[in-house]
Amino acid sequence: IDNAGTFGNSSLVEFNIYSSIQSAIDAASSGETINVAAGTYNEDILITKNGLQIIGANPSTTKINGTRIELNTNFPNAGVIGNSIAAIEINANNVKINGFSIETPELDADHYAFGILLNGENIEISNNIFNMKSDGETIVDPDPVNGDKGPVAIQTWTSGNGGTSIKGLNITDNI
């Protein structure tokens, strides 16, 4: 995993290698691009810095597996939406997530698990593959509107965030 440096006619390309996606995010400054090498990353990710672009090598070779197997009140927003957890939580603006296979944390069918839980403006989620799991099975089409709990690929959230609206959301070319 590296933070991409800028380059031009006379600039050096600088990068750092991190052991996890979250450690690269923690070290990044707002507006940076984080390029993620092919591989499987068993972790939950929290993005709170504006302008980050997190780019996977390819959705068929770069996988983020949500790891929470039980509810954890220390995880940001755990329990806010009906006892829920997310593989990726975005609490920032101008964020781009591209090129991953994203698997929801596995929970029982009485709880919500999200591939991405987002709260912010001008967020782009593109070219990703979502795998949703509940009780050890892949779920094809949960229906939370009619009371079905379980995994959801992408969920928006605005409650308790100081009035931030969700606008400029661009979700394209995901499976």
Q: Model confidence over 69-104: pLDDT tens digits?
A: 555 444 444 444 445 677 888 889 999 999 999 988
Question: How confident is the model at residue 22, as a pLDDT?
Answer: 93
Tokens describing residue 8: 């031009």
Question: How confident is the model at residue 10, as a pLDDT?
Answer: 41
Task: Work out the burial of residue 128: count CB atoms within 10 Å of its CB; fewer than 13 is exposed, 13-18 middle, 19 or more buried.
Answer: buried
CA distances from 53 to 84, 113, 145, 162 (A): 25, 23, 31, 24
Band of the pLDDT at 14, cuts 50, 70, 90?
A: low
Q: In sequence order, what are the beta bridge partners of 112?
A: 84, 150
Question: How confident is the model at residue 146, as a pLDDT?
Answer: 59
Please give the helix or strand (H or E) that residue 26 lies within, else none: helix 21-27
Question: How confident is the model at residue 52, as a pLDDT?
Answer: 97
Q: What is the mean pLDDT of the chain?
A: 76
Instruction: Find the distance separating the first CA and the last CA of the chain, reported in whole Å.
Output: 24
Q: Against a cut of 0.85, is the pTM above it? A: no
27 torsion bin: left (phi>0), alpha (psi -120 to 50), beta (else): alpha
